[in-house]
């Protein structure tokens, strides 16, 4: 059961605020939560806007953690507090967006707060507690340009992330295995009007992620994977089928065949030499080819195959 309300407040023609909140009750946890939220936006001029937001957000622990009745009584809502500041400038088909954020996490589920660090029994439900915590600070930057190059649309996005969490199996506050400190994406699209075809390319880079190597000294999650890199190509051909707009789309990921590593899986016990044998987690195939036929059924609006699709 949940309720939500918000109201906009205009302080002037350029300054607008929003105040709101959400309250909900979980029958599984038999608990209430209340999440206040605030936002402000200031219109600097016709091209530029500054905005900020603050608020609490809650979610129930994953359903597989709540199977046992004692966990439903013991665990609490996982909580996040967000601070966000955004700069947006948009003019003449060019957009610059810079967003800085700071998030803190509380009441995250931990599997083994006081239990022995035994990898053979990592999921003892009697040890689950809502005592985890963490933070995430970062900056996201987006530049998009649909003006400079005729028939072209490109954007570059970069994200910096500084985060640590202590949840699930983490014995200490550590960088999560899913978090990359630097993230870069370059996307480009070009419209071939005479061929009714749009071609595109995407390059993605993620800096090395952490992982826990039991064979290395130096602490928890101190290992580093190779960086993740992917170069992909795609093409979309516009035509009509029974007078309906139809798009034939073809894409291929990792065209260059780079062998990305997503992590390592180690044995639960050391071998005769005292080492844990490990296996790299790689994709099942170096590339993936995707082919799709998209039909937009709209009898009231004629099909337009002379305009580049979004």
Last residue of a domain, one of 140, 174, 208: 174
User: What is the structure's pLDDT at 98?
Assistant: 98
151 in the same domain as 133: yes
Query: If we measure between CA atoms, which residue out of 269, 202, 277 comes closest to residue 232?
Result: 202
296 in the same domain as 213: yes
> What's the burial of 171, exposed, middle or buried (CB within 10 Å: 0-12/13-18/19+)?
middle
- Residue 9 pLDDT level (bands cut at 50, 70, 90): very high
235 in the same domain as 158: no
Contacts of residue 211, Cβ cutoff 8 Å, sequence gap at least 6: 177, 221, 223, 224, 225, 263, 264
148 in the same domain as 30: yes
222 in the same domain as 263: yes
User: How many distinct structural domains can be found in the chain?
Assistant: 2
69 in the same domain as 29: yes
| Across 101-112, average pLDDT | 93
Last residue of a domain, one of 132, 147, 174: 174
Residue pLDDT, tens place only, 162-221:
999 999 888 889 999 999 999 999 999 999 999 999 999 999 999 999 999 888 887 888
Last residue of a domain, one of 143, 174, 205: 174
Angle at 214 between CA 211 and CA 218, to 5 degrees: 80
133 in the same domain as 222: no
Q: What is the CATH number of the domain that holds 28?
A: 2.40.170.20
Please give the residue range of the domain that contains residue 115.
1-174
Q: Write the DSSP string, the chain.
A: -EEEEEEEEESSSSEEEEEEEEEEEETTTTEEEEEEEEEEEEE-SSSEEEEEEEEEEEEPPPGGGSSSHHHHHH---EEEEEEEEEEEEEETTEEEEEEEEEEEEEEEEES-SSS---TTSTT-GGG-EEEEEEEEEEEEEEEEESSSSTTEEEEEEEEEEEEEEE-BT-SS-B--TT--SEEEEEEEEEEEGGGTEEEEEEEEEEPPPEE--TTS-SSTT-EEPPPEEEEEEEEEEEEEETTEEEEEEEEES-TT------EEEE-SS--TTS---EEEE--SSS--EEEEEEEE--SSS----SS---
User: What is the structure's pLDDT at 119?
Assistant: 46
Locus of tokens 């507090």: 81
Can you give 207-219 as a three-state secondary structure string?
CCCEECCCCCCCC
158 in the same domain as 10: yes
* β-pair partners for 202: 187, 232
50 in the same domain as 8: yes
291 in the same domain as 242: yes
Residue pLDDT, tens place only, 66-99:
887 777 778 999 999 999 999 999 999 999 999 9
Residue 310 has pLDDT above 80, yes or no: no
Residue pLDDT, tens place only, 208-260:
999 998 888 878 888 999 999 999 999 999 999 888 899 999 999 999 999 99
2 in the same domain as 134: yes
């Amino acid at each position: 059961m949940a309720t939500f309300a918000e109201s906009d407040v205009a302080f002037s023609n350029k300054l607008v605020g929003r105040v709101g909140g959400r309250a909900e009750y979980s029958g599984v946890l038999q608990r209430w939560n209340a999440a206040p939220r605030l936002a402000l936006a200031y219109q600097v001029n016709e091209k530029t806007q500054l905005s900020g937001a603050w608020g609490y957000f809650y979610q129930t622990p994953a359903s597989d953690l709540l199977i046992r009745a004692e966990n439903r009584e013991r665990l609490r809502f996982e909580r996040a507090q967000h601070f966000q500041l955004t700069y947006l400038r948009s003019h003449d088909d060019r957009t610059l967006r810079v967003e800085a954020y700071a998030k803190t996490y509380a009441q995250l589920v931990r599997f083994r707060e006081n239990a022995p660090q035994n990898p053979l029994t990592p999921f003892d439900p009697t040890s689950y507690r809502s005592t985890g915590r963490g933070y995430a600070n970062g900056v996201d930057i987006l530049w998009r340009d649909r003006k400079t190059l005729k028939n072209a649309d490109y954007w570059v996005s970069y994200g910096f992330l500084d985060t640590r969490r202590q949840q699930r199996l983490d014995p200490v506050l550590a960088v999560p295995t899913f978090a990359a400190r630097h993230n870069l994406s370059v996307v480009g699209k070009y419209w071939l009007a005479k061929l009714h075809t749009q071609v595109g390319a995407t390059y993605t880079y993620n800096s090395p992620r952490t992982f826990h190597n039991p064979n290395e000294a130096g602490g928890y999650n101190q290992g580093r994977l190779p960086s993740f890199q992917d170069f992909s190509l795609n093409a979309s051909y516009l035509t009509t089928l029974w007078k309906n707009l139809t798009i034939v789309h073809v894409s291929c990921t990792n065209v260059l065949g780079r062998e990305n590593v997503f992590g390592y899986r180690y044995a639960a016990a050391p071998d005769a030499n005292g080492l844990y044998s490990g296996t790299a987690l790689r994709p099942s195939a170096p590339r993936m080819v995707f082919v799709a036929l998209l039909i937009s059924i709209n009898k009231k609006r004629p099909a337009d195959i002379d305009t580049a699709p979004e």
